[in-house]
């Protein structure tokens, strides 16, 4: 039984790999079969993710030695609370966006299902790997599939957006490689746990090189996480992507955040000697700048897809700032916020397409988007047959929009509120200080920006909501299939569950934050992971 559970750690990588390869074999004319295989694989992935989460919540990190080589020499996969939670988040989002795409979107281009599975594989691998270079490989798997998915549906706007997206991400990959090479040159290892064990003993003259390497490496992650001066690519890429693709892309920026959250305490945590705490201020300031930029962007946006993209930047910035503070309680709140905001923004991207279907294509893409990209309406949008779908469509869409708005603003009863309260509670009670001492300025700045982001979301979303639902006099209800609304509703219900089960979830997040910020047990578990004893020879 234990053996079987241990091998399950590699399943989130192997399953999408096999499914993706299988899907590549089938002809494009057999869309239904391909969709079925993809759906089966995605659901299996979801089941595996749930099992892994239960396993990770119970005990210490599960370590999987590939090829049975001991840890610093071979490649390891490590499952702990953080990776289990993110894998589950990926699986949930993937299921929702796949079901949504089955209505129509998966047929507008080639190899959607194959690329989709490889994307899942890359994301899962990045969350599981315990090795810097493998992190690079899984990053590239993920990025290569995302290039293909961004192009899905083609059209001038998407091709233009992907050109920028690919060039920027390739450049970021070079930073990744230079950073990894520098770190290897200084420490002689790429295993994350081994790095954590070796850094305290590093000679003083090598520390500068290590810090330079880590800073260059972090550039790659910050580009992915869309920190303020590095994140402008997101605003042309995400609104251009097909809606189910944009929804699954909501998890991609979280991979950058994950890498920072994982590596920073490990490399520059409390036990790192002189190097401890390196880069914290910069991450914190960058996070705040990202939130500020996102607030301005949300207020200035007309198109809903751009509002969603700026909201994604705000959520990235919030988590970044929390990583920079590296306080246990704040990090716990940030993890809850990360889960909640990923589900919200995924649902929002799906919902936007359904809402805008009913409107004149491009009606509210006023000057703002016309200037940044061609004004050509997408041919898919004009091709949609209009007419009434099932009754109450508009009411249902309106309710979903309201739920998304509540989540983005951070009002009860949904999880956006719980997440913000958890973050604020952590910020108001800095660890190790009496309540008599005043709050640091940094905390105040964070608190103010966090609340302002809610206000900005409130103003913009009410403006957009009124225009979309109340202002049109002869509103024609868009033709929406149940299979398209269901994933949106399911994602929003999940946020309700997150908030109803808030206590238990928060407990899990706090445990996660504690283990992430004090990675000594992770390091020990990886470095002392027992090898599987050789099987007895069968012939005796």
Partner 1 sequence: MALLLATCIGILAGSGVWLLLRPRTYQVVIGLSLCALAVNLFIFSMGRLRSGAAPVLASTAGTLADYADPVPQALVLTAIVIGFATTALLLVILLAARGLTGTDHVDGQER
Q: How far is the CB of 289 from partner 1 (least distance, A)?
A: 24
Q: How far is the CB of 188 from partner 1 (least distance, A)?
A: 8
Asked if 159 interacts with partner 1 (CB under 8 A), we say: yes
Q: How far is the CB of 74 from partner 1 (least distance, A)?
A: 12
**Whose Cβ is closer to partner 1: residue 163's or residue 383's?**
163
| Contact status, residue 502 vs residue 412, Cβ threshold 8 Å | no
Stretch that binds partner 1, among 150-158, 265-273, 386-394, 525-533 (CB under 8 A): 150-158
Residues ≥6 apart with Cβ < 8 Å to 425:
329, 333
Stretch that binds partner 1, among 177-185, 250-258, 408-416, 514-522 (CB under 8 A): 177-185
Number of CB atoms found within 10 A of residue 268's CB: 22
Residue in 182, 230, 255, 457 binding partner 1, rule: CB under 8 A: 182
Alpha carbon distance 312, 341 (integer Å): 8
**Whose Cβ is closer to partner 1: residue 141's or residue 406's?**
141
Q: How far is CA 163 from CA 153, 174, 204, 233, in A?
A: 15, 17, 43, 10
Supply angle C-alpha 359, 361, 365, rounded to 5: 100
Q: How far is the CB of 162 from partner 1 (least distance, A)?
A: 6
Residue among 314, 479, 496 at smallest CA distance from 403: 496
Residues ≥6 apart with Cβ < 8 Å to 182:
209, 210, 212, 213, 216, 217
- Residues 87-146 binding partner 1 (CB under 8 A) are 133, 136-137, 140, 143-144
Asked if 177 interacts with partner 1 (CB under 8 A), we say: yes
Asked if 174 interacts with partner 1 (CB under 8 A), we say: yes
Stretch that binds partner 1, among 42-50, 147-155, 340-348, 471-479 (CB under 8 A): 147-155
Conformational region of residue 109, where left means phi above 0, alpha means psi within -120 to 50, and beta covers everything else: beta
**Whose Cβ is closer to partner 1: residue 180's or residue 457's?**
180
Compose the 353-382 pattern: x for residues touching partner 1 by CB under 8 A, - for all others. ---------------------x--------
For 361, counting Cβ atoms within 10 Å of its Cβ (0-12 exposed, 13-18 middle, 19+ buried), the class is middle
Asked if 171 interacts with partner 1 (CB under 8 A), we say: yes
Q: How far is CA 399 from CA 32, 34, 410, in A?
A: 31, 33, 16
**Whose Cβ is closer to partner 1: residue 206's or residue 281's?**
206
Asked if 198 interacts with partner 1 (CB under 8 A), we say: no
**Whose Cβ is closer to partner 1: residue 179's or residue 244's?**
179
**Whose Cβ is closer to partner 1: residue 33's or residue 159's?**
159
Residue in 104, 111, 164, 514 binding partner 1, rule: CB under 8 A: 164
Q: How far is the CB of 282 from partner 1 (least distance, A)?
A: 23
Listed in sequence order, the DSSP H helices in 250-303 are: 252-268, 280-300
Asked if 475 interacts with partner 1 (CB under 8 A), we say: no
Residue among 362, 366, 402, 404 at smallest CA distance from 382: 362
Between helix 81-101 and helix 482-500 the angle, nearest 10°, is: 160
Q: How far is the CB of 430 from partner 1 (least distance, A)?
A: 40
Asked if 178 interacts with partner 1 (CB under 8 A), we say: yes
Q: Which residue has the tokens 């002809």?
A: 27
Asked if 167 interacts with partner 1 (CB under 8 A), we say: yes
Q: Which residue has the tokens 């934050």?
A: 513
Residue in 166, 241, 248, 526 binding partner 1, rule: CB under 8 A: 166
Alpha carbon distance 7, 48 (integer Å): 11
Q: How far is CA 96 from CA 39, 353, 421, in A?
A: 10, 14, 27
Alpha carbon distance 151, 148 (integer Å): 5
Q: How far is the CB of 281 from partner 1 (least distance, A)?
A: 28
Q: How far is the CB of 199 from partner 1 (least distance, A)?
A: 17
Residues ≥6 apart with Cβ < 8 Å to 187:
195, 198, 199, 202, 210
**Whose Cβ is closer to partner 1: residue 18's or residue 159's?**
159
**Whose Cβ is closer to partner 1: residue 277's or residue 374's?**
374
Would you tell me which residues interact with partner 1 (CB under 8 A)?
Answer: 133, 136-137, 140, 143-144, 147-148, 151, 154-156, 159-160, 162-164, 166-167, 170-171, 173-174, 177-178, 180-182, 184-185, 190, 374
């Amino acid at each position: 039984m234990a053996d079987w559970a241990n091998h399950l750690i590699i399943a989130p990588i192997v399953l999408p790999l096999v499914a993706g390869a299988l899907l590549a074999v089938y002809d494009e004319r057999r869309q239904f079969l391909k969709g079925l295989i993809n759906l089966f694989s995605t659901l299996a992935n979801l089941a595996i993710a749930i099992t892994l989460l239960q396993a990770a919540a119970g005990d210490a990190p599960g370590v999987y030695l590939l090829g049975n080589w001991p840890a610093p020499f071979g490649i390891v996969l490590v499952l702990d609370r953080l990776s289990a939670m993110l894998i589950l988040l990926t699986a949930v989002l993937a299921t929702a966006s796949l079901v949504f795409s089955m209505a129509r979107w998966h047929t507008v281009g080639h190899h959607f299902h194959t690329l989709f599975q490889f994307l899942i594989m890359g994301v899962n691998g990045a969350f599981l790997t315990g090795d810097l270079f493998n992190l690079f490989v899984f990053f590239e798997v993920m990025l290569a599939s995302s290039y293909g998915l961004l192009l899905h549906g083609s059209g001038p706007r998407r091709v233009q957006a992907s050109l920028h997206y690919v060039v920027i991400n390739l450049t970021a990959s070079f930073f990744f490689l230079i950073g990894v090479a520098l770190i290897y040159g200084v420490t002689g290892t790429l295993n994350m746990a081994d790095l954590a064990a070796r850094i305290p003993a590093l000679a003083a003259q090598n520390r500068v090189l290590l810090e330079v390497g880590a800073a260059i490496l972090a550039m790659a992650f910050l580009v992915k996480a869309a920190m303020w001066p590095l994140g402008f690519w997101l605003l042309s890429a995400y609104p251009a992507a097909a809606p189910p693709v944009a929804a699954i892309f909501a998890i991609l920026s979280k991979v950058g955040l994950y890498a920072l959250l994982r590596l920073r305490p490990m490399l520059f945590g409390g036990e790192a000697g002189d190097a401890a705490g390196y880069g914290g201020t910069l991450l914190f300031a960058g996070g705040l700048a990202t939130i500020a930029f996102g607030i301005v962007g949300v207020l200035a946006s007309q198109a809903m897809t751009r509002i969603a993209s700026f909201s994604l930047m705000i959520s990235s910035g919030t988590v970044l700032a929390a990583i920079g503070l590296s306080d246990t309680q704040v990090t716990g709140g940030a993890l809850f916020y990360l889960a909640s905001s990923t589900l919200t923004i995924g649902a929002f991207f799906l919902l936007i397409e359904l809402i805008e279907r009913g409107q004149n294509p491009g009606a509210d893409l006023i000057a703002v988007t016309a200037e940044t990209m061609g004004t050509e309406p997408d041919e898919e949008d004009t091709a949609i047959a209009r007419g009434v779908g099932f009754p109450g469509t508009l009411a249902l869409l309106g309710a979903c929009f309201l739920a998304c708005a509540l989540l983005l603003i951070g009002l009860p009863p949904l999880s956006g509120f719980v997440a913000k309260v958890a973050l604020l509670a952590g910020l108001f009670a800095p660890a190790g200080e009496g309540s008599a001492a005043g709050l640091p300025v940094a905390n105040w700045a964070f608190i103010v920006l966090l609340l302002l982001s809610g206000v900005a979301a409130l103003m913009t979303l009410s403006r957009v909501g009124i225009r979309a639902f109340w202002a049109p006099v002869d509103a024609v209800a868009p033709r929406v299939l149940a299979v398209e609304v269901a994933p949106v509703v399911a994602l929003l219900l999940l946020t309700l569950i997150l908030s109803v089960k808030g206590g238990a979830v928060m407990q899990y997040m706090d445990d996660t934050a504690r283990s992430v910020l004090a990675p000594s047990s992770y390091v020990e578990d990886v470095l002392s992971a027992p090898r599987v004893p050789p099987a007895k020879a069968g012939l005796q």
